[in-house]
Amino acid sequence: MTKSWANLRRLRREVDDIDTFDEDTNAWLPVQAYYAVYDAVRSLAIASTQHVPRDHRKALNLASKAVLRGLLPYPWNMYCDGCPQTGSHSFPTPGKPGSVHVLSNPDPDSAVDRLAMFLRTTRSKELERRFSEDRRKNVAPGRQRRNLSIDDKEAIAARLAPTTVFDLFWRLRMKANYDDADTFVLGAGGVADARAFADSLAIVADASVAAIEGVVVAYVGPDLVGDFASSYQQKVRADAGSPVAVRAALLGSSISAQPEAPF
């Protein structure tokens, strides 16, 4: 959990420092947001005595398993399964992705449908990657690739765990690391717009970590997690408004002494 909290602290520090914030910061924040969630999932594996994943896909599968078991609240219980390419995908939880357009302005009334669309497109992209890999297997002589039937695609999709909110963090991280980080920088209309995106990402990452922490607490109890939070708060001298300090206070284990100002 301390690794997760460390990334949340870095996120908040970047967002809250008005004097030094600029658009370029957003090229790296999706990576920090993902690792905050990734390490929280690893802590869930420890708390539930499961094998601790060292592979990102296995961590996402573990999170997906928790969603399917009904351990996470709405909207983290939303997921998409099946194969979007063949039209067999489904949303067992609320959401109608076809009712929103990707270029339309976000608004609260369409938030659930927009999230469903994000889940569908994320699953579709991962399946396209897997389809591309499979097309290069068992290729007939003289050909560079083979065609995939609908049954082939359905079988590949069946092997992919349901796509959850945690996969969305992975998608953003991959785009920032390996695809087009400029999307997060040049897409902003200015510093204020960029900072609004960063602040929103920090809030969503913090809330997603908290959703996982709730399951961790259910396994090991609030005292243990609270003690970890309190100890870490003292170690890093986090102020009262930091993510770890908030957790220590909520779990009833906040340190009584006022921490010194951070370095």
What distance lies between CA 187 and its chain's CA centroid? 20
Q: Is residue 180 predicted with pLDDT exceeding 90?
A: no
Report residue 58 as tokens. 């296995």
Q: Specify the higher pLDDT residue, 98 or 261.
A: 98
Determine the pLDDT at residue 260. 39
Q: Specify the higher pLDDT residue, 177 or 186.
A: 177
Q: What is the pLDDT of residues 153-171, one digit of tens each?
A: 999 999 999 999 999 999 9
Question: In terms of Cα–Cα distance, which of 12, 103, 80, 78 is closest to 211?
Answer: 78
Q: What is the pLDDT of residues 21-55, one digit of tens each?
A: 888 888 889 999 999 999 999 999 999 999 999 99
Determine the pLDDT at residue 150. 96
8 Å CB contact between 29 and 35: no
- Sort residue 99 into left (φ over 0), alpha (ψ -120 to 50) or beta: alpha
Q: What is the pLDDT of residues 3-25, one digit of tens each?
A: 999 999 999 988 888 777 888 88
Please provide residue 163's backbone torsions phi and psi, each rounded to the nearest 5 degrees.
-85, 125
Residue 155 sits at the vertex; the CA angle it makes with 149 and 156, to the nearest 5 degrees, is 95
Q: What is the set of domains in the chain, with CATH numbers?
A: 1-78+164-220 (1.20.120), 82-161 (no CATH)
Q: What is the pLDDT of residues 94-140, one digit of tens each?
A: 666 666 777 777 778 888 888 999 999 999 999 999 999 999 998 88
Q: Is residue 209 predicted with pLDDT exceeding 60?
A: yes
Q: What is the pLDDT of residues 212-243, one digit of tens each?
A: 999 999 999 999 999 999 999 999 988 888 89
Supply the pTM of this predicted model: 0.88
